Chains A and B, each alone.
Chain A
Amino acid sequence: MKESIKNIPYIVVYILGFLLLLFAAVFYRQPLLSVLLILLFIMPPLSVAAMIYTASSLNISIAPDMSEYELPCEVNLILTVDNPGFIPLLNCRLFFGIENLYYPDRTDREILFPAEARTDKKINIPVKVRYSGMIRLNVIRLLISDPLHMYTKDILIGEIYDIPVMPERVQVNELSGAKTQSIDEDVIWASDGELTMDIKQLREYRPGDKLRDVHWLLAAKGDDLPVKEYERGKELYYLLLPEMTEDSLQDTLTYFRSLALLLLQKGEIYRVAIYHAFEDVIDIQTVDSYEALRTVMYELFKESTAPADSAYVRLNDMYHELSGVIRIQGRKIITV
């Protein structure tokens, strides 16, 4: 918390003006006015003291009214101002910034509002949203000035709220049987399908077996180390690759999400390849629920755009012999 005296020139002029008036009053033998002016000198300290006292109990916060939005929508920020004290502080200023992480906006925004005494009120700040993405609200600082605007309390806040705005859902065609075939075992991917929890058989320990696969209960009873071999699922999975180029970013997001939702509705469990352009890495995540899809979307929102095809090239580099990848390029959904 930083407290500072602002408006120094103003204060100087204020005091000089006051003294000048006092001088004139004395000079012109106006006892009443002179004494009144002297008494009025009590106003600045009174004003500052009242502010310090009230500011300590002041409660000001800003947050969106919902945790997630879907286009078309309007994000509503709610500024809550609660002044339980008896002195109105009409000079509160909140500095904040708001931007879609895809489209950086460095505008400094400032909202001036009053914190009336004994009042708990909410100020709505509507934000019209055109594009999906992660909207970042950065609450920078709060300035509270005394009624005479002489002393300003500068409270550094530095809080960040991320508000995800999902793209709208559009009609997409169903996919025609393209499921991915071969992938490295380490990432639970295999040409044979996904590992299940069903134990296929117990066999002898072979070097290279994972310790977690050892059946320790049986091992304790006997001398050998039986190892659990799991049943592999026979089903193959969809692999979606949203390619976020600058030109078709919003369309890619829209179609990707629409397709993803469609698949979830059909009860499909699928995978999404997220290309981290900055690190040049592909991360593959399994989506088996709406929650998992939301996580994927959040990750995508924080990603930057990449040149066309770069994601696919990288995916191919990492996983050879890959086929059946569903590439989403804007409104185009291509299976390769």
Chain B
Amino acid sequence: MMTAFFKSEEKRIENELLTYGLSVGEPYTDGVGKRAYLCFIRGILVFLATFGTIGGLTAAFGLGFNALTIGLGLLVISILIAFTYFNKVTFYVGYILIFMVFLVLYVVAYTQINSGFQAFLNEVYKAYSDFFNLPSTRETTEYITDRSITVPATMFFTGAGFAILYNISISAYMDLFSTFLLSFLPMQLAFYIDIIPPIPYLVMLIAVYITVEVLSRSGRFKLPYKYKKGQQYSYINKKKKVRYEYLASGRGMVQMALSGILISSVLMVLLSMMFAGDFTTKYVSNKVKDKTDEYVQTLAQGGIASLFNRYKATGGISHGRMGGISSVSPDYETDLIVRTVPVSNEESGRVSRVYLKAYTGVFYEKDQFLSAIPGKTGESELSETDDYIPVGANYMDTDKQAYMKLWLMNVDADNVYDYRPYYTLYSSSGRGARSTGLSENIIRYAKTELKADNMASADADLMSEWVDAHKEENENCTYYELIYTPYSESAYYEPNPTLSDEYEQYVYDEYTAVPDEIKDALDSVVSDAELDKIKVSRDDFDLTGIDEEYGEYLVLQQQRLAVLKALKDYYENNYSYSMMPGTTPIGRDTIEYFLSEQKRGFCVHFAASSAMVLRRIGIPTRYIEGYVIDPYDMTEGEVLSGDARDWVLGNAAGPESITLVDVEIPDANAHAWIEVYIDGYGWIPYEMTPPSDDDIEYGGIADFFAMLFSRTSRGGDGNNNADISVNTDIGASVGRFRKSGLYKAISSVDFLLLPLVIVILLITLITVTFIVIRKLMYALRIKKLLGERRYDEVLLIRYRRMLALLRKKGVVKKAYPTVSEVADEIKDNPGSVETDALGETVLKAAYSGGNISEAEYIDACEVMEELIKTYSKSYRSEN
């Protein structure tokens, strides 16, 4: 190969000599034989990249090591590896040797290296667990627990691996992209969870990036083995274009590396100053990042296998399906629109939450609540009471109740459900002193198309208008009117006469079933929460005047409520709420995994698992899905003019504050809760999901915009904010603007403002300083030369500046004009100035070698000033 190369080279030279009489040979400078020096410098670059990555990562995760020892070790390794490019022999033999040493080391020190690696992994898991607040932390086994041995061993080993890769990306190709990826991807382990490695390591990496990019752009780094010894230039001949390219500049590489270190140090100092404040709190979630977070959490918690057991939940009704959901990603599109009157909870005085019930989960089979028991007849055949409570049923004292009207327009929700509204009797704030009430306060249920008897025709017209106003959201929306009774504490207890014994038997048979495989997990919760020890005594209640039989029912009801409260408290103390709990590993039951390990989830997890726990202690429970209208949604809804009192039916015991609102309910308001059966009374809903810990902070530019749109943002009113942390299942209680992409986009880049301003200021400062220094240096030089009476030099400097100006103005067109050419060009221009004397003085100053007199200098300067004045003026007038 080499011989062929030389032969063709000789042929080329001979050919050129015959044809052209000459042949240009390979250029050279003195100081040939700096190959070793170049390998050494590249070794240093490889070392900076390797130590920056390995040291930075290890230090970022808090693993202690002796930086000096590790640094020196990696330096030696890097330089040795860089010397593989010294020549062909070192290249091939070197790589084989390195591979063998690598293999031997791995075999000999496997335990140490492996333990060090596991130590690192454990620290990474811990950091991720802390960052994401994961309930469980993965741990791997460190066979050797002395990290002062294992960590350095692993660092040397992985460092050598990185050095080999960097040697390819730096020594061979000087490629920024691959070098960047090699360091950046591992560094992401730390960056992803906002851990900033110690600054010196980052300085090393940035310095390498800068140096590599500059050297690759200039090309002065090449000296791989393929160039013969002593060769300094490469020869490229393409169609009458010959290029001699200098291969490697050792001095240039050192200078560039030093510049890189200097620049990166300055950048890092600036960066540290900027990061004195905490940027991380300013983020508003974005879907992609959330999704990635979700994967990362799943991976951190459940390992790679858990990544494959998942499906996408986009909010809305999930029909009892829960396994594999790693996170919920609502699209915030409107599903339902409701027009109603917000009703206060008399107990708390606050606006109450309204539930719109849709899906009922009856039978739990691995990871899913089915709406019917497989192979059995539906319960509706046994009793219709649950779904349709007839108007004027005898247990409702219509004289004492207020009825509320609610119009519901189904825009994008699943239209197989009716979304019947009801209030929770027992809110998360605890049970009332003597909480009684109605399970489902629907007293009349009628869709408009059914033309309910008592619906006024005026109402029907209004409803049509309402629907028409929202037509654009969905042409095919369905809509109807619902009438319900808000919760009233004064309602008294009466058994429900429509409940048959047969139905009750059915309920106890079917709504207490639990799968065998999760019984252990359920029992564990029951005993931990001491649910089986809760006893409510009849003496705790004032049952004066209440029928004996009814009293029993009441005690049982209170007993069950006490259990529910205890379970909820248990959840609050031991479990956490999260929209991104991570998936359930393959082969595990969702409820079992949630209760025993995950201990983190959203409404579906809490509702489903509590249903199973309650069933385990014999309380008939079912799982419900639907939508929830939060108090915040009510108050943020569009307030309508008109007499809201029309919407309160019945007698005067209605809500205190009467406002009619339109509330848009997005998919994010989808929710899951449970219903518990109370003997002789029926089903009551219960909220099991604890409050969310996910606080979202706002600030900066985005909130400024939010304030501008204060009607729809939270920035404008803060009164209800305190309530929002209660069971915001999807963080739904943010204003429309806050939900918008614009707000998120602005919020996301908010923190970039400061560095951007700093960079612009820096660029301006550098430019201004540069100009000022140049002017200053010019002035000083002139002053110094004049002091030494060297008028010739001063004159030449000023003449050159004048020429530059005249060229700029277009008076002189030639690049390097002689004095006479300048004079000619000036003469060609109108309003010329006599320049002969100037020309002579300039020639004298330039070529006579002697000095010129002060008088000649002054005369020449006057002419030059006149010239500048003339042409500046004419230039201005022309333009």
| Cβ-defined partner of A27 (8 Å) among B13, B252, B286, B762 | B286
B106 to chain A, nearest CB (A): 33
Contact B762 A42, beta carbon cutoff 8 Å: yes
Chain B residue at minimal CB-CB distance from A147: B214
| Cβ-defined partner of A148 (8 Å) among B21, B217, B242, B274 | B217
Residue total for A at the interface (Cβ-Cβ under 8 A): 69
B823 to chain A, nearest CB (A): 20
Contact A49 B767, beta carbon cutoff 8 Å: yes
Contact A38 B755, beta carbon cutoff 8 Å: yes
Stretch in B115-123, B336-344, B746-754 with 4+ CB within 8 Å of A: B746-754
B195 to chain A, nearest CB (A): 9
Q: Known: A27-B289, A114-B218, A122-B29. Contact between A39 and B249, CB under 8 A?
A: no
Contact A88 B21, beta carbon cutoff 8 Å: no
Total A-B pairs in contact (CB under 8 Å)? Answer: 204
Contact A127 B21, beta carbon cutoff 8 Å: no
Contact A39 B759, beta carbon cutoff 8 Å: yes
Taking chain B's interface residues, is the majority helix, strand, or loop, or is none over half, making it mixed?
helix
B257 to chain A, nearest CB (A): 11
Contact B27 A123, beta carbon cutoff 8 Å: yes
Contact A124 B28, beta carbon cutoff 8 Å: yes
| Cβ-defined partner of B274 (8 Å) among A35, A79, A147 | A35
B774 to chain A, nearest CB (A): 8
Q: Known: A53-B770, A110-B242. Contact between A87 and B259, CB under 8 A?
A: yes
A29 to B745, CA, bound (A): 11
B196 within 8 A of A: yes
A2 to B29, CA, bound (A): 29
B507 within 8 A of A: no
| Cβ-defined partner of B267 (8 Å) among A39, A105, A131, A147 | A39
Q: Known: A28-B289, A90-B214. Contact between A34 and B751, CB under 8 A?
A: yes
B379 within 8 A of A: no
A129 within 8 A of B: yes
A79 to B28, CA, bound (A): 10
A57 to B105, CA, bound (A): 54
Chain A residue at minimal CB-CB distance from B773: A53
Kindly list chain A residues whose C-beta atoms are within 8 Å of the C-beta of B469: none
Contact A105 B244, beta carbon cutoff 8 Å: no
Contact A129 B22, beta carbon cutoff 8 Å: yes
B200 to chain A, nearest CB (A): 15
Kindly list chain B residues whose C-beta atoms are within 8 Å of the C-beta of A40: 267
A135 within 8 A of B: yes
Using an 8 Å CB-CB cutoff, how does the interface string of B257-272 with A read, 1 for contact, 0 for none? 0010001000100110
B276 to chain A, nearest CB (A): 12
B68 within 8 A of A: no
Contact B748 A26, beta carbon cutoff 8 Å: yes
Using an 8 Å CB-CB cutoff, how does the interface string of B114-155 with A read, 1 for contact, 0 for none? 000000000000000000000000000000000000000000
A138 to chain B, nearest CB (A): 13
A144 to chain B, nearest CB (A): 11
B279 within 8 A of A: yes
Using an 8 Å CB-CB cutoff, how does the interface string of A235-247 with B read, 1 for contact, 0 for none? 0000000000000
Kindly list chain B residues whose C-beta atoms are within 8 Å of the C-beta of A127: 22-25
Q: Known: A108-B241, A109-B244. Contact between A128 and B249, CB under 8 A?
A: no
B523 within 8 A of A: no
B314 to chain A, nearest CB (A): 20
User: Which of A104-159 touch B at CB < 8 Å?
Assistant: 104-114, 116-117, 119, 121-131, 133, 135, 145, 147-149, 156, 158
A301 to chain B, nearest CB (A): 12
B766 within 8 A of A: yes
| Cβ-defined partner of A107 (8 Å) among B29, B240, B255, B762 | B240
Contact A32 B196, beta carbon cutoff 8 Å: yes
A88 to chain B, nearest CB (A): 4
Chain B residue at minimal CB-CB distance from A121: B29
Contact A46 B770, beta carbon cutoff 8 Å: no
B213 within 8 A of A: yes
B573 within 8 A of A: no
B489 within 8 A of A: no
Kindly list chain A residues whose C-beta atoms are within 8 Å of the C-beta of B20: 99-100, 103-105
Q: Known: A32-B191, A34-B752, A45-B763. Contact between A131 and B21, CB under 8 A?
A: yes
Contact B815 A100, beta carbon cutoff 8 Å: no
Kindly list chain A residues whose C-beta atoms are within 8 Å of the C-beta of B586: none
Kindly list chain A residues whose C-beta atoms are within 8 Å of the C-beta of B816: 156, 158
B66 within 8 A of A: no
A315 within 8 A of B: no
Contact B259 A28, beta carbon cutoff 8 Å: no
Contact B271 A111, beta carbon cutoff 8 Å: no
Kindly list chain B residues whose C-beta atoms are within 8 Å of the C-beta of A2: 815
A230 within 8 A of B: no
B425 to chain A, nearest CB (A): 42
Using an 8 Å CB-CB cutoff, how does the interface string of A85-96 with B read, 1 for contact, 0 for none? 001101100000
Contact A114 B22, beta carbon cutoff 8 Å: no
User: Which of B736-781 touch A at CB < 8 Å?
Assistant: 748-749, 751-752, 755-756, 758-759, 762-763, 766-767, 770, 774
21 A-B residue pairs with Cβ-Cβ distance under 8 Å, sorted by A, are A30-B192, A35-B755, A39-B755, A39-B758, A53-B770, A91-B219, A107-B240, A109-B24, A109-B242, A111-B27, A111-B244, A112-B219, A112-B243, A114-B246, A116-B251, A116-B252, A125-B27, A127-B24, A131-B21, A147-B218, A156-B815
Other than the given A39-B271, A113-B27, 11 more pairs (CB < 8 A) read A2-B815, A29-B283, A29-B748, A35-B752, A36-B206, A47-B214, A102-B21, A112-B219, A114-B220, A116-B249, A124-B27
Give me the 5 closest cross-chain CB pairs, A-B, nearest first.
Answer: A131-B21, A90-B218, A31-B279, A100-B21, A149-B217
- Taking Cβ atoms with an 8 Å cutoff, the residues of B that contact A are 13, 17-30, 191-192, 194, 196, 206, 210, 213-215, 217-220, 233, 240-246, 249, 251-252, 255-256, 259, 263, 267, 270-271, 274-275, 279-280, 283, 286, 288-289, 292, 748-749, 751-752, 755-756, 758-759, 762-763, 766-767, 770, 774, 815-816
